[in-house]
Amino acid sequence: MSAQAAVSTRRLLAPLALTQFVASFAGSNMNVAITSIANDLDTTVHGVQTAITLFLLCMAALMIPGSKLTDRWGRTRCLTLGLVVYGIGALIAAAAPGLGVLILGYSAFEGVGSALMIPPIYILATLFFAGVESRARAFGAISGMAGVGAAAGPLIGGLITTTISWRASFVLQALIVAAIVLLSRRIVDPLPAEPERPFDTRGALLSAAGMTLLVIGILQAGINNVLLAVFVALGVLLLLAFLRHIRRTELAGREPLLSSALLRNRVSNLGLATQNVQWLLLMGITFVVSVYLQTVRGFSAIKTGVVFTAATAGVLISSLGAQRFAERREQRTLIRAGFAGSIAGVALLLALVGASKNVLAFVPGLLLIGLSVGVMLTPSVNVVQSSFPEEQQGEISGLSRSVSNLGSSLGTAIAGTILVSDLAAGTRSYVIAMIVLAAFALAGFAAAARLPARLSQPAPAASP
């Protein structure tokens, strides 16, 4: 690669990384403003939790269809369209008079926009950066910004909520998106769009409906356990129907929404499992600690955000060292170390918070969790993306982002529901929620332990 080309590709990272940052920021900055939003819109903590979960769920449910549309409409066009839809949603949410309009702007518009703009990020990074090392650097920058966005969301959101209003956070998102649209004009799609390429509408509906019902069912825990069982059962049945549909579509010689070959790669499946649990942990812990501090300890939005500075610093420090770590350690080792550190961080949050009422008691645990998550974000993405040739990067990128965002929505839904369903119990419900998150971290460690020591380069996909 020439020096000019190297500079050009580095410049591409700015809009791509910023796009990932703003989407991750949107998923966590609301947490510190929960009580402010609930009071302003005359709703409950559970109502705001539902809006946050639905935003993350919308991304997860539509990410795979969004990735397929990148081939049909073009990667840069999908990126720009997603940014515009996202920006409109941010402005709608900023002016929301009630929870319904907030869900429309934040959960629906921003969720759809994210599903369109996130897949092109990873596809373009894969196409512009050849080789394991350069691609790892690109993924490191993008994944690092994802972690920083999620970890910095509470601090930035708390500052804005306290000094101005929670509505100003959405205005800030709209301004960042406008800047990204300007920066992304320099990106030229390396592959032509294929407008005649078929789109599996039935598969998109089955997968989206299955994930939606599954997460909505979890949100019913402690409210209506009958609906919980019904929604979860229907969600599982629809996802099984989706898997059957893609097999039958392939046998009929047509292109399904998702190639079944992507689900048969053992290394990729393990990497996807670690991605899911990483985001489940990060978003689950962020939500639980934020709600606990505001509703049980009575912290303001800014004070809650300041507490999360430790997690932000941890993610930023470890993300900056991602390239150096990848050169010196195996991907599997980094992911295992990340889960081990996360478990230790949860243990610190339980031990020190129970022993002290001082706000500083949260700092060691959050710092360790931030460091640990930052260490394993990039290796997990690299494991998944590097398991497939360039011809399949669009599909695996969509699946990867869908699994990650499903983890985020499950973290907020599962751990958050445990806490919110019995806020009167205070510390007891907080402890139960954190123990559940630690159990998921153990499952993630088990998946990471089964990863191979060395990653092999994928063979090119066979021509149809």
Mean per-residue pLDDT for 321-330? 73
Region 275-299: mean pLDDT is 87
Look at 240 and 299; give whichever has higher pLDDT.
240
Please state the separation of Cα 87 from the chain's center in Å: 18
pLDDT tier at 337, thresholds 50, 70, 90: very high
- Residue 176 C-beta-side C-alpha neighbours within 13 Å: 22
Lowest mean pLDDT among 2-11, 347-356, 446-455: 2-11
**Taking all residues of the chain, what is their mean pLDDT, rounded to a whole number?**
84
For residues 215 and 251, is the Cβ–Cβ distance under 8 A?
no
Strand, coil or helix: 356? coil
Tens of pLDDT, residues 35-62:
889 999 999 888 888 898 888 888 888 8
Fold classification of 10-185+257-449 is Growth Hormone; Chain: A; (1.20.1250)
Q: What is the 3-state secondary structure (H, E, C) of 211-271?
A: HHHHHHHHHCCCCCHHHHHHHHHHHHHHHHHHHHHHHHHHHCCCCCCCCHHHHCCHHHHHH
pLDDT computed for residue 64 by the predictor? 84
Give the per-residue pLDDT at 322: 67
**Is the confidence at residue 460, as pLDDT, over 50?**
no
Minimum mean pLDDT range among 146-150, 171-175, 374-378: 146-150
Nearest to 358 by CA among 312, 423, 419, 293: 293
